[in-house]
Amino acid sequence: MRRSFGRTRPSVADVEGTPTTPADSGGAPEAVDDVAGAGVTAGAGAGAGPAGGRARARSRGRSLRLVGPLALVGLAATACERPNFGYPDGVTNYSPRLLNLWQGSAIAALVVGGIVWAMILYAVVAFRRRTDVLPRQVRYNLPVEILYTVVPVVVVASMFFYTARDESKVTRLSAHPDVTVDVIGFRWNWQFKYIDPGTGRTGPNSIEVTGRPGEPAVLVLPQGRSIRFVETSPDVIHSFWVPEFLFKRDVVPGRINQFELTVTKTGTFIGRCAELCGTDHDRMNFYVKVVPQAEYNKFIADRLNAPIATTEAAASATTTATTATTGSGQ
């Protein structure tokens, strides 16, 4: 009898009760020799005994180890292109980069999950209970401990590197964007001001679009031009989010947040506030209308040539609506 981890473990000799010497067996030496010879002959001829069992276990282990690589090769051979893994198709110049980051993360997660499941299934099959004899108890296995420490560190470091690299690209600002828009989020609507590219500021005849209760603001943007969004808020935290942009950024009181992108597809896309900001947070929507450059130029020209009286009346109505919404409290 031997002890392992504080409990008694029977040896193979204890379980089988096989005599090891002629004195223990109490019989003639010739009989013992005959029995041993028969055992050897039977083991060699039929593959029985502990040696044969170990050989079969090793064969099954080699077969199981081939399943994982063959499955990965099959998937790689049959996959024409990487799926989106549920990620939406974006409409900006950063969409391919963001999709690639998402696909890489999903593939890494699937590979790690597949390896873990393969190890679990291998342990279930290869080390299932066959006899009452306990398997050899191993207290420490330095190679395995190094493996399951180094591999997670490598995976996390790789994901951190690619995330930081893409984040720096997405948040980069150019020196001279084609269009600059002031985004003002207030309770509970949006106001957009087009910045004059020549002066870098708004003026008395600047173009402003303000949402009203039941009338979401419509932000018109040109296709294929770099657009910078400059965000501010006079009251509470809001969040500027257009799902098709695959990007959102908080609108924080007392702080100016900026981001820049280029919309590559035309269409009308809904925008939302992604930060709980008060009673009418769910109604704080707007629209982004992306049009070709010629149509955008016509929109700007029509707004700039509008009568001043009409512009002042619209500004007065905007001030009244803003006062009504912000004065109701949160």
Q: What percent of the chain has pLDDT over 70?
A: 65
In tens, the pLDDT along 47-103 reads 445 555 565 656 555 555 555 555 554 454 444 577 888 888 899 999 999 999 999
pLDDT of residue 327: 39
- Residue 33 pairs in a beta bridge with none
How buried is residue 166: exposed, middle or buried, by Cβ count under 10 Å (0-12/13-18/19+)? Answer: middle
Helix H or strand E encompassing 21: none
Please give the mean pLDDT across all residues of the chain.
76
Residues in the chain: 330
Residue type, 251: V
Fold designation for 81-172: Helix Hairpins (1.10.287)
Residue type, 12: V
Domain 179-326 sits in CATH at 2.60.40.420
pLDDT of residue 71: 53
pLDDT of residue 18: 42
Domain boundaries, the chain: 22-67, 81-172, 179-326
Neighbours of 4 (CB within 10 A): 13
**In the structure encoding, which two tokens stand for residue 282, read together?**
């769910």
Residue type, 88: P
Q: Is 179-326 in the same CATH topology as 81-172?
A: no
Highest mean pLDDT: which range of 4-18, 48-62, 176-190, 303-317 = 176-190
**Strands 7-9 vs 2-4: parallel, antiparallel or unpaired:** antiparallel
Residue type, 167: E
DSSP states along 300-311: HHHHHTS-HHHH
List, in sequence order, the alpha helices (H) in 193-304: 293-304
Q: Where is pLDDT greater, at 133 or 270? A: 270
How buried is residue 226: exposed, middle or buried, by Cβ count under 10 Å (0-12/13-18/19+)? Answer: middle
Q: Is the pLDDT of residue 190 over 50?
A: yes
Give the global pTM: 0.64
How far is the C-alpha of 280 from the C-alpha of 298, rounded, in Å? 34
Q: Is the pLDDT of residue 181 over 90?
A: yes
pLDDT of residue 144: 84
pLDDT of residue 246: 92
DSSP states along 46-71: H--HHHHHHHHHHHHHHHHHHHHHHH
**In the structure encoding, which two tokens stand for residue 330, read together?**
């949160």
pLDDT of residue 284: 93
Q: Is the pLDDT of residue 128 over 60?
A: yes
Phi, psi of 77 (to 5 degrees): -75, -30
Q: Is the pLDDT of residue 290 over 80?
A: yes
In tens, the pLDDT along 34-51 reads 434 444 344 444 444 555
pLDDT of residue 126: 86
Q: Where is pLDDT greater, at 23 or 86? A: 86
| Mean pLDDT score, 8-37 | 44
- 271: closest CA among 251, 289, 253, 293? 289
pLDDT of residue 80: 58
- 266 within 8 A of 197, measured Cβ to Cβ: no
